[in-house]
Amino acid sequence: MMEKEKILISACLVGLNCKYNGKNNKNIKLIELMKEHDLVPVCPEQLGGLPTPRPGAQRRENKVITQEGKDVTKEYQRGAEEVLRLAKELGIKKAILKSRSPSCGVDTIYDGTFANTLVERDGVTAELLRKNGIQVVSSDEYL
C-alpha cells in the first residue's frame, strides 16, 4: 500500500480546543482530507509553552504582543521552531494553516493594532516553515 502523504495541520482546524479562547476552528472539509492524507495536528502557541485559554496576540513589527501589551515573542518563536523541528523529523513538505492567526496565518494577518486591520504578512510559524522550503496553504482554501 502506498504511504499517505504527511501534511502538518493547525490543530484547531481538526477540532482540538487549542484556540486562544479555548475553542476550535473545526473544518469538516479538512477532517475529510484525513481519509487520503496523514494529517499531523500541531498548535505552535501551545508548543511554545502558552496556556489555553490565553490572551489574544498580534504581530507588531518584530514582536508578538498581547492586547494588554505583554511581549510573547519568545513563546511564539519557540512554538514555530518546535513545529519546524517536527516537520523536518517527519519529512513533511506541506502545511495547511489557520488563516489570519499570528502564528499560523498565511499571507494575511492582523497588523498589531487590535483594530481588525489586516496586513500582508505571514504568522510566525507560517513564515518559518516557508523560509525552510515547506509549502504553506491557508485554511481559507478549504472554506
Residue 129 is placed in which grid cell? 516553515
Per-residue contact flags (x/-) with ligand SF4 for residues 75 to 114, judged by CB under 6 A: -----------------------x--x-xx----------
| # chain residues binding ligand SF4, by CB under 6 A | 12
10 near ligand SF4, rule: CB under 6 A: yes
Alpha carbon 114 to its chain centroid, in Å, reads: 19
Beta bridge partners of 108: 120
Name the residue nearer to ligand SF4 (CB basis): 98 or 121.
Answer: 98
Work out which of 7, 14, 27, 45 binds ligand SF4, going by CB under 6 A: 45
Residue pair 110/99 in contact (Cβ under 8 Å)? The answer is no
Smallest distance from the beta carbon of 106 to ligand SF4, in angstroms?
11
What single DSSP character describes residue 71? B
Residue with cell 504511504: 3
Burial class from Cβ neighbours inside 10 Å (0-12, 13-18, 19+) for residue 85 reads: exposed
Name the residue nearer to ligand SF4 (CB basis): 3 or 119.
Answer: 119
Q: Which residues bind ligand SF4 (CB under 6 A)?
A: 10-12, 18-19, 43-45, 98, 101, 103-104
